[in-house]
Amino acid sequence: MLEAVENPLMPGPPTSDRTISVDAGQQVLLAKRALGPPLSELPDAAFENALVVTTGSTPRRIQRRVEERGLDPRKIGVVPVSSNEVEYEGPLWTGKRVAPSDLTGISVEVSRGFQYLDPGQGWLVFDSLSTLLLYSEERRVYKLVDWLMGNARGNDVRGVYSLYRDVVAPPAFGRFRSLCDDLLEIDAGE
């Protein structure tokens, strides 16, 4: 079940006074109107066992956000999706950097990361499906998201997928929404 709860530990400038709660195996589309990874909307429990696929942040920034909340970054995995090289040495498990146009590479790195997610406890967080839509055809991104959600559901992993509503046409938004169990609209970014 999706619900908003108070988040007294949110770092940085306040952008939302809510975090989300997602049942094990549930897949949620997080419709945002501002840029930024959806980390501030996640409850602390998400950071006990999470894989973050990021197109808008770096492992170093994610580590800092997790530490600012007083949580252990060793429990987080990151798949950096970027056109630029990513250099990182730190406590986060980090997959290989994948170009945003390489949907097969993204699926391979997420598959590697799934082995670290515990059924019933793990979280898969994809910070911007919108970025992928800039580099690949909608049908290909749709197939990737369908595959990600199927694996998450099959492994009883919670999934949160961020999509910027203002950069996606309503029919495309509707198609991605149809894959999800629930929709949460957020006006601010992190």
Q: Identify the pLDDT of residue 176.
A: 96
Q: Cα separation of 65 and 44, whole Å?
A: 11
Q: Alpha-carbon distance 28 to 92, whole Å?
A: 24
Contact criterion met (CB below 8 Å) for 178 and 145: no
- Which of 9-13, 46-50, 82-86 is the least confident region? 9-13
Q: What is the mean pLDDT of residues 21-49?
A: 86
Q: How far apart are CA 78 and CA 33, in angstroms?
A: 24
Of the chain, the percentage scoring pLDDT greater than 90 comes to 73
Which domains, from first to last, does the chain contain?
Answer: 21-186 (3.40.50.300)
pLDDT of 99 > 80? The answer is: yes
Single pTM value for the model? 0.86
- Token look-up 């939302």 returns 16
